[in-house]
Structure 1
Amino acid sequence: MTWVDEVREAVLTIPAGFVASYSEIGRHLGMGPRQVGRAMSLLGEDTGLPWWRVVHADGTPATCHEGRAPALLAEEGTPMRGGRVDLGRARHRWGSP
């Protein structure tokens, strides 16, 4: 499995209504947040990948894909506060790596 595949698989485990930041995914996989971002860009329009569940460290949704992330997060009932995801309530947590 390539590192891009590892990122894809990690993102697929984030349930609806929850999110993870690039840095959280990186820590989970043993890589940096920029590497996670690069993998996400390489995955592009991968159908079935919930890309909108990957947010910046401050809870700001992604701005790619014509800025659709906030609407998709809202559809899933993701807790928001002031245009950002409420990470205290919506952070996905993996078991110990």
Structure 2
Amino acid sequence: MSRVDDEYVEAVLTLVEQVPTGRVTTYGALARAVGTGGPRQVGRVMALHGDAVPWWRVVHADGSPATCHGGTAVERLREEGVPLTGRGRVDLRTSLVP
């Protein structure tokens, strides 16, 4: 999937909107839930269209937060009570949406 179409964008953004406050999902989990593409395609959607949804709730597979928006993801996650490890990564064992 080299090109991201409108349906894919809408599917990804709809799923991100459903992630509850204080919880996270990963780029890969979103791709699996949509059923096509992969983490990179989801990342592209988030980079181009994610400003209107809680983008900070989407993290990398290792729990590291997004680095866009001036690095404010960590601050937003902390405000929501998402537990972070000493390395600044999200504790996926307790915060990942099932």
Whole-angstrom CA distance in 1 between matches of 2:41 and 2:77? 23
2:61 to 43, 57, 60: 57
Equivalent AA in structure 2 for residue 35 of structure 1 = Q
Deviates more, 1:55-64 or 1:30-39: 30-39
CA-atom RMSD in angstroms: 1.1
Whole-angstrom CA distance in 1 between matches of 2:26 and 2:50? 17
- Pair 1:22-2:27 in alignment: yes
Equivalent AA in structure 2 for residue 36 of structure 1 = V
Counterpart for residue 76 of structure 2: 72
In proportion to residue count, which structure has more helix?
Answer: 2
Where in structure 2 are there 5+ consecutive unaligned residues? 1-5
Whole-angstrom CA distance in 1 between matches of 2:13 and 2:51? 12
TM-score (norm 1): 0.89
In proportion to residue count, which structure has more strand?
Answer: 1
Aligned residues: 91
**Runs ≥4 residues deviating over 4 A:** none
SS at match of 2:47: helix
Q: Identity over the aligned pairs, expressed in percent?
A: 52
Is the alpha carbon distance of 1:44 and 1:19 closer, same or farther for their aligned partners in structure 2, counting shifts above 3 Å?
closer
Shift of 1:45: 2.6
